[in-house]
Structure 1
Amino acid sequence: MDETQTFRDGDFCPEIRSVNQERSEPSCVSIKSEWSMGCPPKFSDKGCFPDRRIHQEKSDRETGQNNWKRSQRISIRDQDNASQVDSVVKRKLNLKFQCLYEGTPKQGTQTLLNEIYTELYITEGQSDSCNEHEVRQIETQSRRAATEDTAIKCNDIFRSLPGQDKPIRIVLTKGVAGIGKTVSVQKFILDWAEGKDNQDIHLIFPLPFREINLIQDQKLSLLDLLHMFFTEIKELDISSSEYKVLFIFDGLDECRLSLDFQSDVRLCDVTESASVDVLLMNLIVGNLLPSAFIWITSRPAAADLVPSECVHRVTEVRGFSEPQKEEYFRKRISDQSLANRITSHLKSSRSLYIMCHIPVFCWISATVLEMLLSPAERGEIPKTLTQMYTHFLILQTNIKHEKDYAKTVKDGDMILKLGKLAFQQLVKGNLIFYEEDLRECGIDVTEASVYSGLCTQIFREEFGLYQGKVFCFVHLSIQEHLAALYGHLSFINDNINVFDLINKERLMSKCFNLIKCNSSQQILISNLHQKAVDKTLHSKNGHLDLFLRFLLGFSLDCNQTLLQGLLTQTGNSSHNKEKTVQYIKKKIKKNPSPEKFLNLFHCLNELGDCSLMEQIQHYVTAGTVNKVKLSSSQWSALIFVLLTSEQDMNVFKLKDFVGSQIKADEVLLKLLPVVKEYRSAQLNNCGVTDEGCAALTSALRSNPSHLRELNVSGNILGSSGVKLFSSGLENHHCKLEKLWLRYCEITDEGCAALASALISNPSHLRELDLSWNKLGDSGVNLLSDGLKDPQCKLEKLCLSSCDVTDEGCAALASVMTSNPSHLRELDLSWNKLRDSGVKLLSGGLENPHCKLEILWFSGCGVTYHGCAALDSALKSNPSHLRELDLTKNKLTDSGVKLLSAIRNNADYKLETLRL
């Protein structure tokens, strides 16, 4: 077989087939190996192996000294040899990663990565696993503003951002299946091999987990492991301090090794043999080659397999942005008119266009629509996922015929066997398979090439290592589609409910007793659908969500027509879809968790029933939602409509939904899945109480938390409500930056809770408005204690009309002079400060640590004496004040002259003066 034919599509551009490196990633969540299906390991609060750090540091120093001495003995000839080896490795990696394949070798052409690569949106994130289907993650996060987080370029993955001075040795990059993790790795390696970037790295060792799985039972040293993949380095001492090496472990979610980070087995010698899992664990922890850099990629569900204490940076690949989707189709399709038609069609179906955030789906769509929208083709253009993937399956089958494979394997038999494999491995949560998995489904491994022709080289052999083979689908959405087709055909042809296959003893008593008649067939296929719905709703991780959409979609006549000629169906597939529709609506009415019923609405779309959504969309468009009493099903539909709207989720306004029919707290509880997806929630003057605050606290704690601004002003919250907010602010998932609590009847008791939240680690709050509350000096003192803490990063504080006197001013002056002081804006308008309070604050302005830029004293009883104190402060070095508001005070002409002279003097920094 030609070398390039052994490779498969990668997860950056599904059409793209990477030379030797690309891998597919499924989109279900349950992808951990069997050993990790139980309880997750527990880690010490003191960090990663704290009891070994002292010994490790000593060992590292000794090793470093020995390496330095050894390096002094390296001859010129040895250095030349090392340089030659580096060049050989670069050439090898360049050859391996420079090209991508579009389709199968005869279907498409070899494409240079640099010609088609589009810089993906990569941000810093957290290593938490996510317990929902990855397609669901894409659907709910697709409209998040791209400016929320700091973008990181692929080649800068090991470089600190501005303001970050900590060294980065281990990076964990996560992202859903097909989003671009592997091709990002490929691009990094290619740029290094071509001498374009990261030239301070001497050697890069890409070691995908799916290949390491093939030798998981071996006992060898780290050098032995590397020599298997890179024979060129046998003469090099990679433990030498002169080498800066990078290990790339791609696909942590595919790992079948038991990475036990609680193990006491410690390796420090690269020549010492151990099991592969022990080798990798010691390498990641830093016992082996402590100076080596490590890059790990993973899908979200497996991201926490490596303890967070061992990871220095977590990044997230978020796929294509809206402009990049269109850019992809322009690059992929040479006929720009056709490319525009494809983009327009995808935009007309929200469910399809959202999926285009995943590059793999862009490839599938481009492959299908390029054919169907050509002048020579006629037929219905796919508008649902089932239609799109079924067209793709037919297209791949046609390609198989063009390759003139042996006629001994019929299309129907091949699809059923692959479908069985897909279903069995989907239930187990596996995304890669081995020879024994294929044999269980009646697939002859020697005929794998025949099957590969069906679905764009589904199978490939890994590097030829130990003659072992690893098999996979291009993407798990394809696996889910085939699994659903298998489930549908098993019932139609043999009256077998595939869910009974999971429990074989139940199968024997049921599958042979089914009656094959049309009337019972209609009832039974509805039963199959109902059982599939129930199984999906009871799934903890949502791994059957997409499978269910496909299964229901296959029951429609339009999809049955597509399959005619491809498959032989002995049963009658027609049925009354209304029974399935009503069953789904019944489940929606019971209002399960949002993650569950949102998928049910997608199922209704696949069945062609949009009645609920259309009715709610009418209310939303007309602005009458708050005037109608909605049923539980309609509330669920409202959530679905809002979450799948084309509008950016920037500002949620509670007033739009609160009316005589329903109160604010109830709306918040019902629309919580929506609220937490918005960047800003405006809940002011809506009658929110403690019950609503509890719901909002849940939103602040959600993972991920998208809320950045929250306005709850004008609600009678009291200190109890503020305490609830504060508990949310302290959560590490909370990223809230601005909080408005004006006119909320907060007292000093609430201030104590807020002070605790301000010093939580991390605290992202930058702006806090507590104006028109009864805080008093005692409340301000409590807040000041929090503001002085180094963990507090608050920059703007509004305390207008809060009963503050000179006692509170003294506390705030100490905040202004604390080190560090982050406060930049302070509003004390309409308080009883008088000249004594202003003098205290003026003393703070003169302090070198004070960085205050904006100060409001409107209506504070200030006279000429207060102006004199401010005059002295503003002339101090340094004084950073840019804006000063003294309106509604008794300054007199002399006081005005003093301050006006400063504003008009270029030697001082005051720019805006309101008198």
Structure 2
Amino acid sequence: MDEDAALRSKVTSTLLLGEPPVSVVNDNKYISPPTAGDADHDRPSLDAAIHAALSGGPRTVVLLGPEGSGKTTALEKLVVGWARGEHLQNFSFVFHLRFRELSSLDGTPLSLETLMRRHGGRHLPPEAVRQVLRNPESALFVFDDLDRCDRGSDPSAVPPCSDPGRAAPVSGLVAGLFGGSLLKGVAVAAATRPTESREFFPSGARRVQVSGFLKPQREAYFRGFFPDDPAAAAAASAHMESTLGFYEFCTSPRFCWTVCSVYKSLMDAGAELPETLSQLYAGVLVRLTRALRLNEARGRALVSALGEMASRCLVGSDSSCAEEEMDSFGFRPFLKEAGAFLRVDDDGGDRSDGRRRVFSFHSRPIQEFFLAAAFLWDPSSGGVEETLAKHEGRAEFLDVFLSGLSQPLRRRPLEAALGAPNAERVADFNRWFRSDSREALAGCRKDRHLRCFRMLLEAGNESLVKEVVDAAARIGISYGDVSLRDCAALGYVVSRLGGVEHLNLYRTGHLTGAQAETLAPAMRLSREINLNSSSLSSAAATHLASALSGGATEELDLSQSALGDDTFKTLCAGLRNCKLRTLKLRACTLTEASCGALACLVTSGAPQLRVLEVGFNKIGDRGFVELCRALQRPLCRLQELQLHNCDLTAASVEALSAALCSGHSELRKVDLTRNLIGERGVEALSKSLQHPLCTLTSLNLFDCELTGACCAHFSEALMSSCCSLTELDLSVNDLRQEGALLLCRALRRPGCPIQKLSLQRCQLTAPVFEELSSVLRGGASRLTSLSVGLNAVGDRGVKHLWDAVAHPSCLLEELDVEMTGLTDAGVQDLCGALRTSSTLRSLELRNNAMTDAAVPALVRAARDSDSMLEMNLKYNDFSEDVFELMDECEKIRY
């Protein structure tokens, strides 16, 4: 063989297959991949996991992982290291058996003794078999490609062998070794793809998931591939991570070999590196066709044959093809070159029947790439919709590769080898893609949105993004729980659009550092980010903070995300002068320990922050007091603070009151719902409300265990000319008649600022309703919204409010009398008030006792009212007989 032919043979046999494991080990290029784990730092190396399993009981370990994940090389390293005396020297004998080679024996009975003698290695001494039989603990059996062990259609028909001298199928020998019935105490290590071969494994076998290469291992691999040029290694590694690192198969050492091989040839030629997977595989195809010296016509014929085979393997139940099947694809002229593109295995069958070899693709992505290339370069098959429908549910990358190859820039290298694709095919796909994308993006199905984004990413055409994602697209739907690949696609689309109003990642189960880093460009350009009900790793919080710093985001929702103190501190530490104006942290499992970071956030990390929601976090008094000190600093610009159920007491309110009177606080709205404020806390608040420097306009004390005695303090505050409070919610507190009447006295004061008052379930009585009516009719009240529901005063009590609504001095726009005991007897007064009022827009009448008889009058009143916009009649005693009548008035909700 001449030098050129030898080079072609080396290139074509290894470009897709990867470097042979024995070369990797012998040339000291081996990198141990990590095992699967919850976090990167929890993952031991694969070598360590194997050694640990073989050193203790039951000394049986099974490596599970996809094709090309590094299982075979790990076993090769295990055997070579033992032979060199580097490890596992407690074993005297190691038998390395590959089912790729043993497949021809399966079905031919032979004993374990014969198997050891025939396949135990050329240097196995004659007495070795006897020593193993006497002392099984001294032997280690290593099985590779266990998933290739043929156990027939009924695996249970081949029982585990228990006699090393008795002939049995190879599968029976393996089952006996695994199960302990054959050579009890022997150690076994095996590698398999995740298949039904797990039936071999005893319950005590150690299963090790092989993850392939994570980013650190990939970087090390690139350094080993470019040993004399660290700069080239770093550049190549960085390029792959940014353009291809989001694909799951990037963890495959075999794929890393392909990438490095293509990159090196391009870098040596001074050419640009591929930006997409389509370009990478186009480069592979070009390099292989040139190495095989195929002209354009033969190259297209080969691609057509590969496409036929790819379709057959996708649609059929078998992922491989026998040699005689290859003729039907037009592969006969290319059988000599098959090893460059396909895996070629001896099937072990009877050679007299002509079935000498079995052909399969090295990976699913390259298989679908050949199918896409065949579609565009060979117009003999069906149209785009027919082709996609034929492979729907089976092909994961076909539409993506079609999208990439439909773009001139992406397919340019391939045109140099195959000539131009069929123009009608390209136009047909582009028409379909635009139409399908617009239809998908106008809907709310996440899977269809993401499919479109993946194709746009592969196309790499900015003008196409702006054309397809038009004003009708519903980009604001939730994209929570997306894969790393989809993060890249979403980030690409948002970046090319120049940003979006709302990036919705609601319910992202576990946002990893890699996902957050990939999404960072989209986050940076989004005005609102929704991560509600999500889970963020600490690394993800770091990348999120980096995206927010200097980004466009003004609102971030992390509610119910279980951040915890440590992750929250990581987020705050990374924020630098971000534009956040609203931060929602409800139910994030924060405690007192987070309040220091929170205090720094509102004064320096997010200087524009106006709204902060920290409800349902157990921050307690000590934590909140620390936050209140930040509220008194000139750099703090907070205007709204939501503290629902934060374990606060009067001590917290005293600290808050001090901040309100400091002259630096800009707080306008405070929500203290369901905190144990009590009278002492109310007294402190009322004093701050009377302070000329206090800017508070809205106060919510819903269910804060207040009593009527507290109303004296509120009355005093509302009587003050300095008070600026316009909204007050005292619902679900035991104010009773005496306390409420004190409030009414303050509401009568000319200039009293209250516009919105909520007194739901406060044990109010009819005299209170009468006094409220008097306030509303007095001409001095500014009340536009009143909620007094869940106070059982009946028709007679509520009649006082109807009288007020009908009065020309009443300014009410919203009235809530839910569950006050209204019946049909009060409907006449209600309707009379609606006919007279020129201001009432919303009326809440839920959970009362009105019946069908009241409906006609209510419908007429709502319809005839010029001001009324909505009347809520839900949960009254209506039957279905009146539903049609209520439907006639669009203002009514029932």
What TM-score, normalized by structure 2, do the two folds share?
Answer: 0.49
What TM-score, normalized by structure 1, do the two folds share?
Answer: 0.48
Choose 1 or 2 for highest CA Rg. 2
| Structure with bigger RCO (C-alpha 8 Å, 6+ apart) | 1
